[in-house]
């Protein structure tokens, strides 16, 4: 059970948000939830959460509001739209946004919410996929004030193995983009390694064990290469989301004047996957560019 009576709200109960909200409910926090499609609500209400009629209703019942949404437009609508969070916001509340978006938009939205309502905003994109969300081992990169961060940190501890304040609003989103640069390029490389191993007569499923502890070792190698070798189709993170994030990286790089040739190539590889109808497939489907699925 939770150590206090902090009232929580959770908006966005998809692949990541659903298990994260479940962990908060299991921790015993008073929890109000809302999702655009109501079919995601029963597991949460069965765990004791209260179904709210709108994002505004969530904010009315909450001291800390969490959001985990698909893109920038969805965040803007949920926060500032009709019956949005801002309509029930106040200086004694904090919003923690787990969504991934453009850093400049995170800065803009945070400044707007604070100016109009006094409510704090922590941009807190996550890494770790569905397993991390389920097990409470996510890596969370935060941007916002130190005071707001300190207030939400004990609650986020139920969701994350690591929660790091990187700077003011937008810094969390910039850090997430760097994370996606590493992961996006790493996925493309793992697919090439998997195919090269198969063509060379090596069992690619043995590579993580063979390379463990060496300089080539990484979570991407350990987690994704075996799944690529097995043509694992369990969806833990979608290709379309990676494309969105890599497109955001490239747009931000153009604004900053930063040259990112390898990231640009990774973005194009993932766009090819979408063109092949794999936008809703798991990130391990990158191997499908090199070899057909095994049957």
Q: What is the pLDDT of residue 233?
A: 87
* Domain co-membership, 53 together with 95: yes
- What's the CA gap between 215 and 294, in Å, rounded? 30
**pTM reported for the whole predicted model:** 0.89
Same domain? For 154 and 13 the reply is yes
pLDDT tier for residue 2 given thresholds of 50, 70 and 90: very low
The answer to whether residue 173 scores a pLDDT higher than 50 is yes
Residue 3 has pLDDT above 60, yes or no: no
Using the 3D structure, point to which of 167, 188, 212 is the last residue of a domain: 167
Task: Report how many domains make up the chain.
Answer: 2
Do 65 and 89 lie in one domain? The reply is yes
Percentage of the chain exceeding pLDDT 70 = 97
How many residues are recorded in the chain? 295
What are the pLDDT digits (tens) for 181-204?
Answer: 999 999 999 999 999 999 999 999
Regarding whether 225 and 107 lie in a shared domain, the answer is: no
Neighbours of 21 (CB within 10 A): 29
CA distance 34 to 25: 14
| Per-residue pLDDT, 230 | 95
Tell me: pLDDT of 111 over 60. Answer: yes
Whether 293 has a pLDDT exceeding 70, the answer reads: no
Q: What is the CATH number of the domain that holds 21?
A: 3.40.50.720
275 an active-site residue? no
118 and 190 both lie in a single domain = no
Rounded to an integer, the average pLDDT of 99-114 is: 95
If asked whether residues 94 and 19 sit together in one domain, one would say yes
pLDDT tens-digit readout, 4-60: 689 999 999 999 999 999 999 999 999 999 999 999 999 999 999 999 999 999 999
Q: What is the 3-state secondary structure (H, E, C) of the chain?
A: CCCCCCCEEEECCCCCHHHHHHHHHHCCCCEEEECCCHHHCHHHHHCCCEECCCHHHHHHCCCEEEECCCCHHHHHHHHHCCCCHHHHCCCCCEEEECCCCCHHHHHHHHHHHHHHHCCEEEECCEECHHHHHHHCCEEEEEECCHHHHHHHHHHHCCCEEEEEEEECCCHHHHHHHHHHHHHHHHHHHHHHHHHHHHHCCCCHHHHHHHHCCCCCCCHHHHHHHHHHHCCCCCCCCEHHHHHHHHHHHHHHHHHHCCCCHHHHHHHHHHHHHHHCCCCCCEHHHHHHHCCCCCC
Given a contact cutoff of 8 angstroms between Cβ atoms, the answer to whether 228 and 204 are in contact is yes
Q: Which of 176, 206, 275, 294 is catalytic?
A: 176
In a domain? residue 1: no
Q: Give the Å distances, CA to CA, from 203 to 7, 23, 286.
A: 51, 38, 18
Asked if residue 262 has pLDDT above 50, the reply is yes
Q: Looking at the predicted structure, is the pLDDT value of residue 209 above 80?
A: yes
Report pLDDT digits (tens) over 218-257. Answer: 999 999 999 999 999 898 889 999 999 999 999 999 999 9
Range of the domain at 140: 8-167
Exposure class string for 169-189: b at 16+ Cβ within 10 A, else e: bbbbbbbbbebbbebbbbbbb
According to the model, what pLDDT value does residue 1 have?
39
Name the one residue in this structure whose structure tokens are 């009576």: 5
205 — pLDDT class (breaks 50, 70, 90): very high
């Amino acid at each position: 059970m939770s150590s206090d009576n902090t009232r929580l709200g959770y908006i966005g109960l998809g692949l990541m948000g659903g298990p994260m909200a479940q962990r908060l409910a299991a921790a015993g926090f008073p929890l109000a939830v809302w999702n655009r499609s109501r079919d995601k609500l029963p597991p949460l209400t069965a765990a004791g959460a209260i179904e709210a009629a709108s994002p505004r209703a969530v904010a009315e019942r909450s001291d800390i509001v969490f959001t985990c949404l698909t893109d920038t437009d969805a965040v803007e609508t949920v926060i500032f739209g009709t019956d949005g969070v801002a309509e029930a916001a106040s200086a004694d509340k904090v919003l923690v946004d787990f969504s991934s978006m453009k850093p400049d938009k995170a800065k803009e939205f945070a400044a707007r919410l604070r100016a109009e309502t006094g409510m704090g905003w922590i941009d807190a994109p996550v890494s770790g996929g569905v397993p991390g969300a389920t097990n409470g081992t996510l890596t969370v990169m935060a941007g916002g004030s130190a005071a707001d961060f300190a207030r939400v940190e004990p609650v986020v501890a139920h969701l994350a193995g690591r929660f790091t304040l990187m700077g003011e609003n937008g810094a969390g989103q910039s850090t997430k983009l760097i994370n996606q640069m590493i992961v996006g390029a790493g996925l493309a490389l793992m697919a090439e390694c998997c195919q090269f191993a198969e063509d060379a007569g090596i069992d690619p499923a043995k590579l993580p064990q063979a390379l463990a502890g060496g300089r080539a070792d990484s979570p991407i190698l350990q987690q994704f290469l075996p799944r690529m070798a097995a043509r694992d189709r369990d969806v833990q993170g979608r290709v379309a989301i990676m494309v969105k994030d890599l497109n955001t990286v490239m747009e931000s790089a153009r604004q900053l004047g930063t040259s990112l040739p390898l990231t640009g190539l990774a973005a194009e590889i993932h766009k090819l996957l979408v063109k092949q109808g794999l936008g809703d497939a798991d990130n391990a489907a990158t191997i499908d560019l090199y070899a057909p699925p095994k049957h």
